[in-house]
Amino acid sequence: MTDLADQLRPITAEEWPRFVRAMRTTFGHDHTGPYMDSPSPVAELDRSLALFDGERVAATSGIYSLEMSVPGAVVPTAGVTWVTVSPTHRRRGVLTEIMRRQLTEVHEAGREPVAALWAAEWPIYGRFGYAPVAWRGGWTGQTERLRLRPDVDCGTGTVRLVDVEEFRPAAAALHEQVRRSVPGNMARDERWWERRLQESPELAAGGPPRQLALHTEADGRVTGYATYRPRASWTESSEPEGTLTVEEVRASTPAGYAALWRYLLGHDLMRTIEYPHGPAEDPLAHLLVDGRAWHARPVDALWVRLVDVGAALSARRYPAPLDMVFEVRDRFCPWNDGRWHVWGHPAGAYSDRTDRDPDLVLDVEALAAAYLGGVSLAALQAAGRVTEISPGAVTQASTAFGWPVAPWCPDQF
Protein backbone atom coordinates (compact mmCIF):
# COMPACT_ATOMS: atom_id res chain seq x y z
CA MET A 1 0.00 0.00 0.00
CA THR A 2 1.54 3.28 -1.10
CA ASP A 3 0.78 6.86 -0.11
CA LEU A 4 -1.65 5.74 2.56
CA ALA A 5 -2.15 9.28 3.84
CA ASP A 6 -3.39 10.37 0.42
CA GLN A 7 -5.86 7.47 0.24
CA LEU A 8 -7.70 8.48 3.40
CA ARG A 9 -10.52 10.92 2.68
CA PRO A 10 -13.91 12.09 4.01
CA ILE A 11 -16.95 10.27 2.69
CA THR A 12 -19.99 11.71 0.95
CA ALA A 13 -23.61 11.19 1.96
CA GLU A 14 -24.01 8.76 -0.94
CA GLU A 15 -21.14 6.65 0.44
CA TRP A 16 -22.60 6.52 3.95
CA PRO A 17 -24.40 3.13 3.55
CA ARG A 18 -21.14 1.39 2.56
CA PHE A 19 -19.25 3.23 5.29
CA VAL A 20 -21.64 2.33 8.13
CA ARG A 21 -21.97 -1.27 7.01
CA ALA A 22 -18.18 -1.66 6.96
CA MET A 23 -17.98 -0.16 10.43
CA ARG A 24 -20.72 -2.38 11.88
CA THR A 25 -19.25 -5.47 10.26
CA THR A 26 -15.85 -4.89 11.87
CA PHE A 27 -17.48 -4.25 15.27
CA GLY A 28 -19.56 -7.42 14.87
CA HIS A 29 -22.90 -5.58 14.89
CA ASP A 30 -25.87 -6.47 12.74
CA HIS A 31 -26.92 -4.26 9.84
CA THR A 32 -30.14 -2.91 11.33
CA GLY A 33 -30.80 0.48 12.81
CA PRO A 34 -32.32 3.86 12.08
CA TYR A 35 -29.36 5.34 10.19
CA MET A 36 -28.18 2.58 7.89
CA ASP A 37 -29.10 4.38 4.67
CA SER A 38 -28.53 8.02 5.59
CA PRO A 39 -26.32 9.76 8.18
CA SER A 40 -27.64 10.50 11.64
CA PRO A 41 -28.21 14.15 12.63
CA VAL A 42 -25.03 14.15 14.76
CA ALA A 43 -22.81 12.79 11.97
CA GLU A 44 -20.21 15.21 10.58
CA LEU A 45 -19.16 13.71 7.26
CA ASP A 46 -16.60 16.43 6.61
CA ARG A 47 -14.74 15.11 9.67
CA SER A 48 -14.93 11.46 8.62
CA LEU A 49 -12.08 9.46 7.11
CA ALA A 50 -12.37 6.31 5.04
CA LEU A 51 -9.95 4.02 3.26
CA PHE A 52 -11.42 2.51 0.11
CA ASP A 53 -10.27 -0.76 -1.44
CA GLY A 54 -11.98 -0.50 -4.79
CA GLU A 55 -15.67 -0.08 -3.97
CA ARG A 56 -15.27 -1.57 -0.49
CA VAL A 57 -14.62 0.49 2.63
CA ALA A 58 -11.64 -0.99 4.48
CA ALA A 59 -11.24 1.52 7.33
CA THR A 60 -13.46 4.14 8.99
CA SER A 61 -13.19 6.98 11.47
CA GLY A 62 -14.90 10.21 12.38
CA ILE A 63 -14.99 13.13 14.79
CA TYR A 64 -17.87 14.82 16.58
CA SER A 65 -17.58 18.49 17.53
CA LEU A 66 -18.25 18.32 21.27
CA GLU A 67 -17.95 20.50 24.35
CA MET A 68 -16.60 18.79 27.47
CA SER A 69 -16.67 19.94 31.06
CA VAL A 70 -13.20 20.13 32.60
CA PRO A 71 -12.28 21.27 36.13
CA GLY A 72 -13.83 24.71 36.52
CA ALA A 73 -14.57 25.29 32.82
CA VAL A 74 -15.72 23.81 29.51
CA VAL A 75 -13.53 23.14 26.48
CA PRO A 76 -14.23 22.37 22.79
CA THR A 77 -13.38 18.70 22.27
CA ALA A 78 -12.85 16.48 19.24
CA GLY A 79 -14.93 13.38 19.93
CA VAL A 80 -13.19 10.58 18.05
CA THR A 81 -15.58 7.87 16.85
CA TRP A 82 -16.31 5.20 14.20
CA VAL A 83 -12.72 3.91 14.30
CA THR A 84 -12.39 0.53 12.56
CA VAL A 85 -9.89 -1.24 10.33
CA SER A 86 -11.01 -4.31 8.41
CA PRO A 87 -9.11 -7.53 9.19
CA THR A 88 -8.02 -7.52 5.55
CA HIS A 89 -6.00 -4.34 6.16
CA ARG A 90 -4.53 -4.92 9.62
CA ARG A 91 -0.81 -4.54 10.37
CA ARG A 92 -0.30 -2.05 7.54
CA GLY A 93 -0.17 1.14 9.60
CA VAL A 94 -3.74 2.15 8.72
CA LEU A 95 -4.82 2.97 12.29
CA THR A 96 -1.62 4.90 12.98
CA GLU A 97 -2.16 7.00 9.88
CA ILE A 98 -5.79 7.67 10.82
CA MET A 99 -4.77 8.80 14.30
CA ARG A 100 -1.99 10.99 12.92
CA ARG A 101 -4.27 12.57 10.32
CA GLN A 102 -7.00 13.26 12.88
CA LEU A 103 -4.71 14.84 15.46
CA THR A 104 -2.82 16.89 12.89
CA GLU A 105 -6.02 18.30 11.41
CA VAL A 106 -7.46 19.10 14.84
CA HIS A 107 -4.20 20.82 15.81
CA GLU A 108 -4.03 22.83 12.59
CA ALA A 109 -7.66 23.95 12.93
CA GLY A 110 -6.86 25.31 16.40
CA ARG A 111 -10.40 24.99 17.77
CA GLU A 112 -10.18 21.92 19.99
CA PRO A 113 -7.20 21.57 22.35
CA VAL A 114 -8.45 18.18 23.56
CA ALA A 115 -9.62 14.95 21.90
CA ALA A 116 -11.65 12.22 23.58
CA LEU A 117 -12.91 8.72 22.79
CA TRP A 118 -14.31 5.49 24.20
CA ALA A 119 -11.78 2.70 23.72
CA ALA A 120 -12.98 -0.66 22.45
CA GLU A 121 -9.76 -2.19 23.79
CA TRP A 122 -7.34 -0.82 26.40
CA PRO A 123 -3.98 -1.41 24.61
CA ILE A 124 -4.86 0.42 21.40
CA TYR A 125 -4.88 4.15 22.14
CA GLY A 126 -2.16 4.72 24.70
CA ARG A 127 0.48 4.66 21.99
CA PHE A 128 -1.28 7.64 20.41
CA GLY A 129 -1.25 9.67 23.64
CA TYR A 130 -4.74 8.87 24.95
CA ALA A 131 -5.31 7.86 28.57
CA PRO A 132 -8.38 6.81 30.60
CA VAL A 133 -9.67 9.72 32.67
CA ALA A 134 -13.17 8.67 33.77
CA TRP A 135 -14.72 5.42 34.95
CA ARG A 136 -18.20 3.94 34.87
CA GLY A 137 -19.20 2.28 38.11
CA GLY A 138 -20.80 -0.97 36.95
CA TRP A 139 -23.13 -0.80 39.96
CA THR A 140 -25.48 -3.61 40.93
CA GLY A 141 -27.41 -4.72 44.01
CA GLN A 142 -30.34 -6.73 45.30
CA THR A 143 -33.38 -4.58 46.00
CA GLU A 144 -34.16 -6.31 49.31
CA ARG A 145 -30.86 -4.98 50.69
CA LEU A 146 -30.98 -1.51 49.12
CA ARG A 147 -32.72 0.63 51.69
CA LEU A 148 -32.17 4.33 52.32
CA ARG A 149 -30.97 5.47 55.73
CA PRO A 150 -33.81 6.77 57.93
CA ASP A 151 -32.15 10.18 58.19
CA VAL A 152 -32.00 10.73 54.42
CA ASP A 153 -33.84 13.89 53.38
CA CYS A 154 -35.93 13.21 50.28
CA GLY A 155 -37.54 16.66 50.37
CA THR A 156 -41.17 17.45 49.58
CA GLY A 157 -41.05 17.08 45.81
CA THR A 158 -42.75 14.42 43.72
CA VAL A 159 -41.56 11.92 41.11
CA ARG A 160 -43.75 11.50 38.03
CA LEU A 161 -43.55 9.31 34.95
CA VAL A 162 -43.91 11.53 31.88
CA ASP A 163 -43.89 11.19 28.12
CA VAL A 164 -40.90 12.16 26.03
CA GLU A 165 -42.43 15.48 24.95
CA GLU A 166 -42.54 16.68 28.55
CA PHE A 167 -39.34 14.96 29.59
CA ARG A 168 -36.89 16.17 27.00
CA PRO A 169 -37.05 19.97 27.49
CA ALA A 170 -37.08 19.62 31.28
CA ALA A 171 -34.22 17.11 31.33
CA ALA A 172 -32.20 19.11 28.82
CA ALA A 173 -32.44 22.27 30.94
CA LEU A 174 -31.44 20.44 34.10
CA HIS A 175 -28.59 18.59 32.38
CA GLU A 176 -27.20 21.89 31.13
CA GLN A 177 -27.32 23.18 34.71
CA VAL A 178 -25.52 20.24 36.34
CA ARG A 179 -23.11 18.99 33.66
CA ARG A 180 -20.71 21.91 33.99
CA SER A 181 -19.71 20.85 37.49
CA VAL A 182 -18.78 17.28 36.48
CA PRO A 183 -15.53 16.87 34.50
CA GLY A 184 -16.05 14.58 31.53
CA ASN A 185 -19.70 15.52 30.97
CA MET A 186 -20.55 16.52 27.40
CA ALA A 187 -22.95 19.23 26.29
CA ARG A 188 -26.12 17.88 24.65
CA ASP A 189 -27.97 19.87 22.02
CA GLU A 190 -31.27 18.76 20.47
CA ARG A 191 -29.51 16.32 18.14
CA TRP A 192 -27.78 14.55 21.00
CA TRP A 193 -30.96 14.36 23.07
CA GLU A 194 -32.75 12.87 20.06
CA ARG A 195 -30.04 10.23 19.77
CA ARG A 196 -30.04 9.48 23.51
CA LEU A 197 -33.79 9.02 23.74
CA GLN A 198 -34.20 7.05 20.54
CA GLU A 199 -35.37 3.47 21.03
CA SER A 200 -33.18 0.82 19.43
CA PRO A 201 -34.91 -1.57 16.98
CA GLU A 202 -34.41 -4.64 19.18
CA LEU A 203 -36.03 -2.90 22.17
CA ALA A 204 -38.85 -1.50 20.07
CA ALA A 205 -39.49 -5.08 18.88
CA GLY A 206 -40.27 -6.38 22.34
CA GLY A 207 -37.61 -5.34 24.83
CA PRO A 208 -38.38 -3.35 27.97
CA PRO A 209 -39.47 0.21 27.18
CA ARG A 210 -37.53 3.13 28.59
CA GLN A 211 -39.26 4.90 31.45
CA LEU A 212 -38.85 8.67 31.89
CA ALA A 213 -39.24 10.24 35.32
CA LEU A 214 -39.05 13.84 36.53
CA HIS A 215 -38.63 15.09 40.08
CA THR A 216 -40.63 18.27 40.57
CA GLU A 217 -40.79 20.64 43.53
CA ALA A 218 -44.04 22.04 44.90
CA ASP A 219 -43.45 25.29 43.00
CA GLY A 220 -43.16 23.41 39.69
CA ARG A 221 -39.36 23.49 39.36
CA VAL A 222 -37.84 20.33 37.89
CA THR A 223 -34.87 19.39 40.08
CA GLY A 224 -34.11 15.92 38.81
CA TYR A 225 -34.70 13.26 36.19
CA ALA A 226 -34.15 9.54 35.71
CA THR A 227 -34.28 7.15 32.78
CA TYR A 228 -34.50 3.40 33.33
CA ARG A 229 -35.81 0.09 31.98
CA PRO A 230 -37.64 -2.51 34.10
CA ARG A 231 -37.49 -6.06 32.74
CA ALA A 232 -39.88 -8.60 34.25
CA SER A 233 -38.73 -12.14 34.92
CA TRP A 234 -40.08 -15.09 36.94
CA THR A 235 -38.56 -18.18 38.50
CA GLU A 236 -39.88 -21.69 37.79
CA SER A 237 -41.81 -21.42 41.04
CA SER A 238 -43.46 -18.18 39.87
CA GLU A 239 -41.39 -15.91 42.09
CA PRO A 240 -40.58 -12.49 40.59
CA GLU A 241 -36.92 -11.85 39.77
CA GLY A 242 -37.04 -8.82 37.51
CA THR A 243 -34.14 -6.47 36.78
CA LEU A 244 -34.35 -2.70 36.72
CA THR A 245 -31.57 -1.15 34.64
CA VAL A 246 -30.93 2.51 35.41
CA GLU A 247 -29.55 4.57 32.53
CA GLU A 248 -29.10 7.97 34.14
CA VAL A 249 -30.03 9.80 37.34
CA ARG A 250 -29.33 13.54 37.60
CA ALA A 251 -30.49 16.10 40.12
CA SER A 252 -29.68 19.66 41.10
CA THR A 253 -30.32 19.07 44.82
CA PRO A 254 -29.33 16.26 47.23
CA ALA A 255 -33.00 15.81 48.20
CA GLY A 256 -34.00 15.43 44.56
CA TYR A 257 -31.31 12.79 44.00
CA ALA A 258 -32.38 10.86 47.09
CA ALA A 259 -36.06 11.04 46.10
CA LEU A 260 -35.36 9.67 42.64
CA TRP A 261 -33.45 6.72 44.11
CA ARG A 262 -36.18 6.09 46.68
CA TYR A 263 -38.57 5.85 43.74
CA LEU A 264 -36.29 3.57 41.70
CA LEU A 265 -35.59 1.22 44.62
CA GLY A 266 -39.30 0.96 45.38
CA HIS A 267 -40.35 -0.87 42.21
CA ASP A 268 -42.26 -4.07 42.85
CA LEU A 269 -41.23 -7.34 41.15
CA MET A 270 -37.67 -6.10 40.62
CA ARG A 271 -35.08 -8.15 42.51
CA THR A 272 -31.95 -6.62 40.99
CA ILE A 273 -30.98 -3.00 40.33
CA GLU A 274 -28.24 -2.24 37.81
CA TYR A 275 -26.59 1.10 37.02
CA PRO A 276 -23.83 0.05 34.60
CA HIS A 277 -22.87 3.50 33.33
CA GLY A 278 -23.33 5.40 36.58
CA PRO A 279 -20.47 7.42 38.07
CA ALA A 280 -17.74 5.47 39.82
CA GLU A 281 -18.29 7.71 42.86
CA ASP A 282 -22.07 7.38 43.04
CA PRO A 283 -23.62 9.27 46.00
CA LEU A 284 -26.14 6.44 46.43
CA ALA A 285 -23.54 4.42 48.32
CA HIS A 286 -23.66 7.09 51.06
CA LEU A 287 -27.46 7.08 51.24
CA LEU A 288 -27.87 3.39 52.06
CA VAL A 289 -28.25 1.61 55.37
CA ASP A 290 -25.90 -1.05 54.01
CA GLY A 291 -23.33 0.45 51.64
CA ARG A 292 -21.89 -3.01 50.92
CA ALA A 293 -25.14 -3.94 49.22
CA TRP A 294 -24.34 -1.56 46.32
CA HIS A 295 -21.54 -3.32 44.46
CA ALA A 296 -19.21 -1.53 42.04
CA ARG A 297 -17.25 -3.05 39.20
CA PRO A 298 -15.58 0.04 37.73
CA VAL A 299 -14.17 -0.03 34.23
CA ASP A 300 -12.58 2.65 32.09
CA ALA A 301 -14.97 4.83 30.13
CA LEU A 302 -13.77 8.14 28.65
CA TRP A 303 -10.21 8.48 27.32
CA VAL A 304 -8.62 11.89 26.67
CA ARG A 305 -5.71 13.18 24.58
CA LEU A 306 -4.17 16.65 24.88
CA VAL A 307 -3.96 17.82 21.28
CA ASP A 308 -2.39 21.16 22.22
CA VAL A 309 -0.77 21.01 25.66
CA GLY A 310 -0.55 24.77 26.26
CA ALA A 311 -4.16 25.50 25.30
CA ALA A 312 -5.49 22.45 27.17
CA LEU A 313 -3.71 23.31 30.42
CA SER A 314 -4.82 26.93 30.09
CA ALA A 315 -8.45 25.91 29.62
CA ARG A 316 -9.03 24.22 33.00
CA ARG A 317 -8.92 25.64 36.53
CA TYR A 318 -6.78 24.56 39.48
CA PRO A 319 -8.14 24.46 43.06
CA ALA A 320 -4.68 25.19 44.50
CA PRO A 321 -2.12 27.67 43.14
CA LEU A 322 0.27 26.23 40.58
CA ASP A 323 3.46 27.75 39.16
CA MET A 324 5.54 24.99 37.65
CA VAL A 325 7.39 23.79 34.56
CA PHE A 326 6.43 20.47 32.97
CA GLU A 327 8.73 18.79 30.50
CA VAL A 328 6.35 16.87 28.25
CA ARG A 329 7.45 13.99 26.03
CA ASP A 330 5.20 13.55 22.98
CA ARG A 331 6.64 11.48 20.16
CA PHE A 332 3.37 11.22 18.24
CA CYS A 333 2.51 14.94 18.19
CA PRO A 334 5.90 16.69 18.12
CA TRP A 335 4.40 20.16 18.45
CA ASN A 336 3.71 19.31 22.12
CA ASP A 337 7.20 18.05 22.90
CA GLY A 338 9.16 20.34 25.22
CA ARG A 339 8.86 22.41 28.38
CA TRP A 340 5.65 24.14 29.42
CA HIS A 341 5.27 26.71 32.17
CA VAL A 342 1.89 26.29 33.86
CA TRP A 343 0.49 29.07 36.00
CA GLY A 344 -2.94 28.47 37.47
CA HIS A 345 -5.35 29.02 40.35
CA PRO A 346 -9.13 28.70 40.92
CA ALA A 347 -10.01 31.71 38.77
CA GLY A 348 -7.83 31.13 35.71
CA ALA A 349 -4.75 29.59 34.17
CA TYR A 350 -2.13 30.11 31.51
CA SER A 351 0.47 27.85 29.96
CA ASP A 352 3.18 28.60 27.43
CA ARG A 353 6.57 27.35 26.30
CA THR A 354 9.62 28.10 28.39
CA ASP A 355 13.33 27.38 28.57
CA ARG A 356 13.30 27.17 32.38
CA ASP A 357 14.46 23.99 34.06
CA PRO A 358 11.60 21.52 34.58
CA ASP A 359 10.00 20.67 37.91
CA LEU A 360 8.40 17.49 36.54
CA VAL A 361 9.08 15.28 33.52
CA LEU A 362 6.30 13.10 32.11
CA ASP A 363 4.88 11.80 28.84
CA VAL A 364 1.75 13.27 27.30
CA GLU A 365 -0.26 10.16 28.14
CA ALA A 366 0.40 10.62 31.87
CA LEU A 367 -0.49 14.31 31.63
CA ALA A 368 -3.74 13.39 29.87
CA ALA A 369 -4.59 10.86 32.60
CA ALA A 370 -4.39 13.61 35.24
CA TYR A 371 -6.14 16.28 33.16
CA LEU A 372 -9.69 15.87 34.53
CA GLY A 373 -8.56 15.45 38.12
CA GLY A 374 -9.47 11.78 38.53
CA VAL A 375 -5.95 10.33 38.38
CA SER A 376 -3.26 11.53 40.78
CA LEU A 377 0.13 12.56 39.47
CA ALA A 378 1.50 10.97 42.66
CA ALA A 379 0.04 7.61 41.60
CA LEU A 380 1.60 8.06 38.17
CA GLN A 381 4.93 8.84 39.82
CA ALA A 382 4.65 5.61 41.85
CA ALA A 383 4.19 3.80 38.54
CA GLY A 384 7.34 5.39 37.14
CA ARG A 385 5.38 7.59 34.73
CA VAL A 386 6.34 10.93 36.34
CA THR A 387 9.86 12.05 37.30
CA GLU A 388 10.19 14.65 40.03
CA ILE A 389 13.04 17.12 39.51
CA SER A 390 12.18 19.77 42.11
CA PRO A 391 11.60 18.35 45.60
CA GLY A 392 7.91 18.48 46.51
CA ALA A 393 6.78 19.14 42.95
CA VAL A 394 4.68 15.98 42.71
CA THR A 395 2.78 16.80 45.89
CA GLN A 396 2.11 20.36 44.74
CA ALA A 397 1.09 19.35 41.22
CA SER A 398 -1.10 16.47 42.45
CA THR A 399 -2.95 18.87 44.72
CA ALA A 400 -3.40 21.49 42.00
CA PHE A 401 -4.55 18.98 39.35
CA GLY A 402 -7.06 17.31 41.68
CA TRP A 403 -10.77 18.17 41.66
CA PRO A 404 -13.52 17.56 44.25
CA VAL A 405 -15.92 15.97 41.72
CA ALA A 406 -14.80 12.72 40.12
CA PRO A 407 -14.84 12.67 36.29
CA TRP A 408 -17.81 10.93 34.69
CA CYS A 409 -19.06 10.64 31.12
CA PRO A 410 -22.53 9.12 30.66
CA ASP A 411 -22.49 9.80 26.91
CA GLN A 412 -21.00 7.11 24.68
CA PHE A 413 -20.05 8.26 21.20
Q: Quick one: which of 340, 363, 362 has its CA closest to 353?
A: 340
> What letter would DSSP give residue 47?
G
3-class SS at 84?
Answer: strand
Query: Which regions of 290-364 does DSSP assign to beta strands (E)?
Result: 299-300, 302-306, 322-329, 338-345, 348-353, 360-363
Contact predicate 131/303, CB 8 Å: yes
Query: Which residue in 318, 326, 371, 413 is the catalytic one?
Result: 413
Distance CA 388, CA 395 (A): 10
The residues, any chain, with a CB within 8 Å of residue 17's CB and separated by 6 or more, are: 36, 37
Residue 167 annotated as catalytic: no
Distance CA 361, CA 58 (A): 39
Q: Quick one: which of 274, 328, 277, 283 has its CA closest to 298?
A: 277
Q: How many residues does the chain have?
A: 413
What is the per-residue DSSP string for 259-300?
Answer: HHHHHHHT-TTEEEEEETTSBTT-GGGGTBS-GGGSB---EE
Query: Which residue in 19, 64, 125, 371 is the catalytic one?
Result: 125
Residue 52 annotated as catalytic: no
Distance CA 372, CA 302 (A): 11
The residues, any chain, with a CB within 8 Å of residue 104's CB and separated by 6 or more, are: 333
Catalytic residues: 125, 413
